Amino acid sequence: WSLKNPRYPHATIPTHSDVTALDFSTNSPNLLAVGFYDGNVAVYDAKNYKEREPLMQTGASTGKHNDPVWKLQWIDATSDHGETLISISTDGRVSQWSLKKDLEFVNLMRLKKIMAHSKGAQPQPFISRHAAGLCFDFSPRDPSLYLVGTEEGLIHKCSRSYNEQYLQSYVGHTGPVFQVRWSTVLPYIFLSCSSDWSVRLWREEQESALLVFQTANESVGDIRWSCKHSCVFGTVSDDARILRQIWDMAVTAMKPVIVYPFANTKLSCLLFSEDAPVVLAGGSTGAISVFRL
């Protein structure tokens, strides 16, 4: 898409499966990584969009995920190795993909279930030892550290150099964690959102949340920090009446300062502009809405 013509796409690339995640490379902005519902990962050249086949693509023989790819992101961890792709799936894998020859992977972590420590709760046997991963975010302070949100409601801090166990786990959510986001201004602070109707603010060193923001009585699908204001973040929920909320912790933590209603649409993602007071949001109708703050 280009804002020069918002009514018609600049290019359309047909795919073999539903797209569940995508991310443009920072070092090579023409490279677009795409994650699919069938567990595959592909890299397209956006410059040569008329060439509809991807430059690289995984398959059953090259280690594709067994479940949908829920997040995919380019990470430039070290200048020696350049950019790599990181993906996460409900099959329990957090995988790193190298593009030197073809898409080759190593598993950064095989997510495992742990017992959440709740007073009075009796331990329940696990049907499966693998935990289903839904989201991740790398620390802006230390590119070897990353957070993982899981379907069981736990958040884990992990290291790229240590894949045997979690460095720390954060307990509080009672439903799947759909997104975790580090603050770019305060590198020890992060946000999470969940199907339990809440957004939680965490400090890296503490296992329990600093603040809990209660949203509308619907699942919160995405959160984003403002690029301009360290205390401002936005959320989107499944409630078609209360589509998007803007919170400002410097004003109040009790309720959002702005609520954007949008009839008959459920938003699933949002993005703050880096250089303008604008927010983009995408939802169930397939349309992308642009809001000015």
- Residues 212-221 have pLDDT tens digits of 998 777 899 9
Which residue's structure tokens are 């047909």? Answer: 14
> What's residue 166's pLDDT?
95
Residue 210: band (very low, low, confident or very high) from pLDDT cuts 50, 70, 90: very high
Of the candidate ranges 151-160, 190-199, 227-236, 264-273, the one whose mean pLDDT is the lowest: 264-273
Who has greater pLDDT, 159 or 163?
Answer: 159
The average pLDDT across 197-211 equals 95
Hey, what amino acid is at 78? T
Q: Is the pLDDT of residue 239 over 70?
A: no
Contact 133, 149 (CB under 8 A): yes
- Predicted confidence (pLDDT) at residue 79 exceeds the cutoff of 60: no
Q: Provide mean pLDDT across the span 19-33.
A: 94
What strand order describes the sheet that includes 198-203? 177-182, 189-194, 198-203, 211-214
Nearest to 213 by CA among 183, 247, 169: 247
> Who has greater pLDDT, 216 or 120?
216
Residue 116 banded pLDDT, cuts 50, 70, 90:
low
pLDDT of residue 43 exceeding 90: yes
Position 287 scores a pLDDT of 83
Q: Is the pLDDT of residue 225 over 60?
A: yes
- Residue 150: other Cβ atoms inside 10 A: 23
DSSP code per residue over 25-71: -SSSTTEEEEEETTS-EEEEESTTTTS-S-SEE--GGGT--SS-EEE
Average pLDDT, the chain: 88
- pLDDT for 196: 93
